[in-house]
Structure 1
Amino acid sequence: MATKTATQNEARQAAQAYLDSRLTNDSATKSEKPFTVPEINIASSFSSSLDDRKAIAAQIHEACTSSGFFHLTGHGISEDTRQKILALASRFFKTLPREKKEALHVRHSNYFRGWEPADYTYVNPGDWSAEDAPQETKEGFNWGYEAGMDPAGGDGQYRELDGADVNGNVWPSEEDVPGFYETISEYYSQVLHLARHLFRLFALSLDLEETYFDEMMTHPGGIARLLFYPASGDPQPLDPKLQDKEIGLGAHSDYECFTILLCSSASGLEILSPDDTWVAAPAVEGSFIINVADFLMRWTNGVYKSTIHRVVNRTRNERYSVPFFFSINYDQMVQTLPSCVTPDNPSRYPPVRAGEYILERLRATAKDA
Structure 2
Amino acid sequence: MAAAAVEPSSTQTEARQAAQAYLNSRLTNGTSTPSTNPGQKSPFTIPVIDISPSFSPNLADRKAVAAQIHAACSTSGFFQITGHNIPSSTRQGILDLAKRFFHTLPREKKDALHVRHSKYFRGWEPAEYTYVNPADWTGEQAAPETKEGFNWGYEEGLDATGGDGAYVELDGGKGNGNVWPREEDLPGFYATVREYYAEVLGLARHLFRLFALALGLEEGAFDGMVTHPGGIARLLYYPPSKDPRPLEAGRKDDEIGLGAHTDYECFTILLCSSAPGLEILSPEDEWVEAKAVEGGFVVNVADFLMRWTNGVYKSTVHRVVNRTREERYSVPFFFSINYDQMVETLPSCITPGNPSRYPPVRAGEYVLERLKATAKDG
Contact 2:145 2:259 in 1 (8 A): yes
Q: How does 1:123-138 map to 2 (within 5 A)?
A: 123-138=132-147
Shift of 1:240: 5.6
Q: Distance in 1 between matches of 2:250 and 2:316?
A: 20
In structure 2, stretches of 5+ residues that fail to align are none
Task: Give the equivalent residue in structure 1 for 2:10.
Answer: 6
Q: Distance in 2 between matches of 1:221 and 1:18?
A: 23
Q: Distance in 2 between matches of 1:194 and 1:187?
A: 11
Task: Give the equivalent residue in structure 2 for 1:302.
Answer: 311
Shift of 1:33: 3.1
The percent of aligned pairs where both chains have the same amino acid is 74
Query: TM-score, length-normalised on structure 1?
Result: 0.97
1:216 partner letter = M
Q: Deviation digits for residues 189-228 of structure 1, max 9, x if unmatched?
A: 0000000000000000001110000000000000000000
Contact 2:307 2:358 in 1 (8 A): yes
State the superposition RMSD in angstroms.
Answer: 1.5
Q: Distance in 2 between matches of 1:283 and 1:18?
A: 26
Task: Give the equivalent residue in structure 1 for 2:54.
Answer: 45
Contact 1:36 1:67 in 2 (8 A): no
Task: Give the equivalent residue in structure 1 for 2:167.
Answer: 158
Shift of 1:282: 2.3
Q: Distance in 2 between matches of 1:193 and 1:112?
A: 24
Contact 2:268 2:301 in 1 (8 A): yes
Alignment of 1:25 with 2:29, yes or no, is: yes
1:18 partner letter = Y
Task: Give the equivalent residue in structure 1 for 2:278.
Answer: 269
Task: Give the equivalent residue in structure 1 for 2:77.
Answer: 68
Q: Distance in 2 between matches of 1:26 and 1:92?
A: 35
Which residue of 278, 287, 291 maps to 2:300? 291
Q: Distance in 2 between matches of 1:241 and 1:161?
A: 41
Contact 2:304 2:343 in 1 (8 A): no
Contact 2:257 2:320 in 1 (8 A): yes
1:164 partner letter = G
Shift of 1:237: 2.9
Q: Distance in 2 between matches of 1:367 and 1:82?
A: 32
Shift of 1:275: 1.8
Task: Give the equivalent residue in structure 1 for 2:116.
Answer: 107
Contact 1:142 1:225 in 2 (8 A): yes
SS at structure 2 position matched to 1:328: strand
Alignment of 1:193 with 2:197, yes or no, is: no
Aligned residue pairs, count = 367
1:137 partner letter = T
Segments of 4+ moved more than 4 angstroms: 238-242
Q: How does 1:206-221 map to 2 (within 5 A)?
A: 206-221=215-230
Shift of 1:26: 8.2
1:192 partner letter = L
Shift of 1:243: 3.5
Which residue of 245, 250, 255 maps to 2:254? 245
Which residue of 106, 128, 131 maps to 1:97? 106
Q: Distance in 2 between matches of 1:358 and 1:70?
A: 23
1:135 partner letter = P
Q: Deviation digits for residues 276-301 of structure 1, max 9, x if unmatched?
A: 21100123110000000111111110
SS at structure 1 position matched to 2:320: strand
Q: Distance in 2 between matches of 1:222 and 1:265?
A: 24
SS at structure 2 position matched to 1:11: helix
Task: Give the equivalent residue in structure 2 for 1:35.
Answer: 44
Q: Distance in 2 between matches of 1:307 and 1:242?
A: 23
Q: Distance in 2 between matches of 1:176 and 1:338?
A: 51
Contact 1:144 1:223 in 2 (8 A): yes
2:276 partner letter = S
Task: Give the equivalent residue in structure 1 for 2:347.
Answer: 338
Query: TM-score, length-normalised on structure 2?
Result: 0.95
Q: Cα 1:32–1:206, aligned 2, differ >3 Å: closer, same or farther?
A: farther
Q: Distance in 2 between matches of 1:2 and 1:360?
A: 10
**2-11 vs 138-147, which moves further:** 2-11
Q: Deviation digits for residues 137-183 of structure 1, max 9, x if unmatched?
A: 00000000010111111000000000001200000000001100000
Task: Give the equivalent residue in structure 2 for 1:316.
Answer: 325
Q: Cα 1:336–1:122, aligned 2, differ >3 Å: closer, same or farther?
A: same
Shift of 1:2: 1.9
Task: Give the equivalent residue in structure 2 for 1:58.
Answer: 67
Q: Deviation digits for residues 35-64 of structure 1, max 9, x if unmatched?
A: 111111111111111111100000000000
